[in-house]
Structure 1
Amino acid sequence: MSAPMKLVVLGLSLSSAWGNGHATTYRALLRAFAARGHAVTFLERDVPWYASARDLADPPWCRLEFYRDLGDLARWQGEIAAADAVLVGSYVPEGVAVGQFVQRTARGATAFYDIDTPVTLAKLDRGDHEYVSPAVIPGYDVYLSFTGGPVLDLLRLRWGAPAAEVLYCSADAAQYRPVPGVAPRWDLSYLGTYSPDRQPVLERLLIEPARRAPGLRFVVAGAQYPAGIDWPANVERLEHVGPADHPAFYAASRFTLNVTRADMVRAGWSPSVRLFEAGACGTPVISDVWDGIETLFRPEEEILLATTPEQVLAVLRDAGPDRGRRIGRAARARVLAAHTAAHRAAELERHLRAAMAHHRHPAGASRSARAEERVSL
């Protein structure tokens, strides 16, 4: 077995799954990474909207600590310097400054984990450097992207990442699994935080089918939906479903819907964590369509694809329980074979060890100078 690794992660949130998909992604990945014998410290910015909705205060597989601001982050300088690898995530508050601090301080390998890659690239194209910038990207030893496909070449060739590797989301197989004995409550469910660019697809693939089929039952679970949305009477609204309740939520759904953000549809190869989690629970998924989805799940066998309300209604009205169960079982088998947190933890270890092997330049000013030199080329 490989030598244990000391990893420090600075991510959006580990403590709260409210209104973000990062927490469940980090929890599954880092729990499995720790199970491989590694020590993990997670540093989270202490912000009020997550502090008031924490559902994981003291994970047994990870040291979770909070910092107030950039000045307070300096308390962890020794921990960052001593780590074998340091990983900074997308959407970290003041992420550019955090990345610069990490690149100056770390003596081990550094990585950027982008759980929002197409959104990040659209931001970079607009000159929006909310959490990463063209000057910071080359200073990371490896750019880990939740999007695969052609985007990886773009990260290397246009944005100067020394290495770019795909690290898809995953499902924690110990948590996400079928729940026996739960009667179907909804014909079609959707679990996701409100996003303006997802809403037109949700309107087309769930709300419009609900209007046309008042005898069917639907649910939309997630935070931050505006008050002005005209929900049909047969669409139930749940403000939040915590991760511990996700399996039961999926078990109560005959089918569940996957809706992808517009930037991610354009990039392709961007599976939502919900795809893997629902699949692991054995719930059949109806998904919108984008390049690369067929490389993850076989259409008509492990997943159903739809672009119109008519296609959704055809599935809900015509698919008998046997077909739904068959697709759900096949999706679960695919997730267990290739998309569990254990698979991703092994991939993360491989990518970090490769970065450590190629990490030769020292920390400090020379490291920052190297990054600036790459950008200027």
Structure 2
Amino acid sequence: MNIAFFGSSLVSAYWNGAATYYRGIIRALAGRGHTVTFYEPDAYDRQTHRDIPDPSWARVVVYGASDTAELERALDSAARADLIIKASGVGVFDELLEAAVLELRRASNTVVFWDVDAPATLERVSRDGHDPFGPLIARYDAIFTYGGGPPVVEAYLALGARACHPIYNAVDPDTHHRVAPDPRFEAALGLMANRLPDREARVESFFLDLARALPDQTFVLGGNGWSDKPLPDNVRAVGHVYTRDHNAFNCSPQAVLNINRESMARCGYSPATRVFEAAGAGACLISDAWVGIEQFLAPGREVLIAESSAGVAEHLRSLSPTRAATIGEAARRRVVAEHTYAHRAAEVEAILGGQDRLSSPGIS
């Protein structure tokens, strides 16, 4: 099957949290015999912050961010694909693309909208009755989402979607695995999170307030946007952590914290990419609480759950190196057995009717 995929970036994770997800899904689809062309804009300085070269398992086409001529050529090329995917949050020409890919729909192909931030999309469409994406939802053959579970599925169906299927994050064991600890990232607790408006308050509560309450402990903060944020003296900000260093970041602190953005925590069923990256590296993960986490990791045995910074502090005080290692190993075994991108690629095929049907007329 020939797949055309319009997304934010495959080759750069710079201000692009979906990069690991795209890479895992697309590499797994390629491993099942499919051919993928990924179309991405030259935007947000991502091309100068590439962290992988063009991969052998996908063709990457970069188009200009200020002129639609290159994008129109990309759409002309994509028209020949069996499966055409428009992801949310491309960041450039999103409104144009959402409508344009539907004009490529034929009896012989399938067109899918893949929402990598469904809570934000649904909130926007629900709030604005004139949002141009709203009337397009029913025209897509299917909606795939990065997460969200029943609340997101029900919301999309209520907006007219023909079908909505969560394709959750996962781990690529070849990419995310144990490595030796790195002194740059050693701490009692590590957090990797870009500074975003609907996450900052939760980072303040779960991580920075915690650091202030535990001055004898050390903390490491990775991610973009924190350089002008006043931080406690015991928090070491290391800036953007390139993909090549994710394993070292996850393997160096005694525990790693996951904090969902407010909208994703509210919807539930939203395991972030970093959850599986950390678990794949055998990290002891502490996560904020959200509905559905037990579908992915067993609380208390494979992940520690905290309702507030006080809960995180309690976990840190009681966590021995032996227990941290035991929890991390249990999480690693679980995700490798049940939550790899190979599993997710098989789900995509099954949802769309199996490999044979993907080359036949689109979903009706």
- Structure 2 residue corresponding to 1:73, chosen from 71, 74, 89: 71
Query: Which secondary structure state, in structure 2, belongs to the residue aligned with residue 257 of structure 1?
Result: strand
Q: Does 1:141 align with 2:144?
A: no
Whether the 8 Å CA contact 1:189–1:218 is kept in 2: the answer is yes
Please give the alpha-carbon distance, in whole angstroms, between the structure 1 residues aligned to 2:71 and 2:311: 51
Q: Provide the residue aligned with 2:54 in structure 1.
A: 58
1:44 maps onto 2:40 in alignment: yes
Q: Distance in 2 between matches of 1:62 and 1:187?
A: 39
Aligned partner of 1:94 in structure 2 is 93
What's the CA shift string for 1:74-107, capped at 9, x where partnerless? 2134432221101110112222311221111243
Task: Determine the C-alpha separation between the residues in 2 that align with 1:250 and 1:269.
Answer: 22
Q: State whether residues 96 and 136 of structure 1, in contact with CA within 8 Å, keep that contact through their aligned partners in structure 2.
A: no
Separation (CA, whole Å) in 1 of partners of 2:252 and 2:80 = 47
- The amino acid across from 1:18 in the alignment is Y
Once residues 196 and 313 of structure 2 are traced to their aligned partners in structure 1, the CA distance between those partners, rounded to angstroms, is 24
- Secondary structure, aligned partner of 1:219: strand
CA contact (8 A) 1:31 1:61 kept: yes
Contact 2:39-2:63 within 8 A present in 1 as well: yes
Do the aligned partners of 2:51 and 2:244 also contact (CA within 8 Å) in 1?
no
CA-CA distance at 1:182 after TM superposition: 5.3
Quote the offset at 1:45 in angstroms: 1.3
Q: Is residue 32 of structure 1 aligned with residue 18 of structure 2? A: no
**One-letter amino acid of the structure 2 residue matched with residue 86 of structure 1:** I
Equivalent residue of 2:77, what SS?
helix
DSSP 3-state at the match of 1:87? strand
Structure 2 contact 180–248 (Cα < 8 Å) conserved:
no
In 2, Cα distance between the equivalents of 1:226 and 1:180?
27
1:70 partner letter = T
Contact 1:96 1:129 in 2 (8 A): no
Q: Is the CA contact 1:80–1:106 (under 8 Å) kept in the aligned structure 2?
A: no
Name which of structure 1's ranges 281-290 and 63-72 shifts more when overlaid on structure 2: 63-72
The residue type paired with residue 203 of structure 1 is E
What is the distance in 2 between the residues matched to 1:137 and 1:30?
Answer: 23
* Equivalent position to 1:82, from 67, 80, 83: 80
Maintained 8 Å contact 1:8/1:85: yes
Partner of 1:294: helix, strand, or coil?
A: helix
Q: Which residue in the other structure is 1:300 paired with?
A: 300
Q: Secondary structure at the match of 1:173?
A: coil
The 8 Å contact of residues 122 and 155 in structure 2, kept in 1 or not, is answered as no
1:360 offset after TM fit, Å? 6.3
Structure 2: runs of 5 or more not aligned: none
Q: Which residue is equivalent to 2:344?
A: 344
Distance in 2, Cα, partners of 1:106 & 1:72: 20
The alpha carbon displacement at 1:242 in A equals 0.6
For 1:331 and 1:148, locate their aligned partners in 2 and report how far apart those are by CA, in whole Å.
21
Distance 1:279 1:96 in 2: 36
Task: Look up the equivalent residue of 1:60 and give its one-letter code.
Answer: S
Task: Determine the structure 1 residue equivalent to 2:18.
Answer: 22
Deviation at 1:12, TM superposition (A): 1.0
**Equivalent position of 1:266 in the other structure:** 266
Tell me how far 1:48 sits from its aligned partner: 4.6
Secondary structure of 1:270's counterpart equals: coil
Measure how far apart 1:325 and its partner are. 0.9
Q: Using a 3 Å threshold, how does the CA distance of structure 1 residues 129 and 194 change in structure 2: closer, same or farther?
A: farther
Q: Summarize the Cα distance change of 1:35–1:212 in structure 2 as closer, same or farther, 3 Å threshold.
A: same
Amino-acid identity (%): 36
1:19/1:224 contact within 8 Å kept: no
CA distance in 1, matches of 2:141, 2:118: 17
Which residue in the other structure is 1:359 paired with? 362
Structure 1 residues 266-300: Cα deviation after superposition (integer angstroms, max 9, x where no partner)? 11111111111101110011111111112211110
CA distance in structure 1 between the partners assigned to 2:191 and 2:363 by the alignment: 47
Match for 2:362: what amino acid? H
- Whichever residue aligns with residue 117 of structure 2, its letter is D
Deviates more, 1:171-180 or 1:74-83: 74-83
The aligned counterpart of 2:240 is: 240
The number of residues matched between the two structures is: 354
1:225 shift after superposition: 2.5
TM-score by length of 2: 0.92
Residue in structure 1 matched with residue 207 of structure 2 by the alignment = 206
Aligned to 1:373: none
- Comparing 118-127 with 65-74, greater Cα deviation is found at 65-74
Q: C-alpha distance in 2, partners of 1:196/1:226?
A: 15
What do residues 232-262 of structure 1 show as CA deviations (whole Å, max 9, x unaligned)?
Answer: 1110001111111100111111101111111
2:6 corresponds, among 10, 30, 36, to: 10
Distance in 1 of aligned mates of 2:189 and 2:80: 49
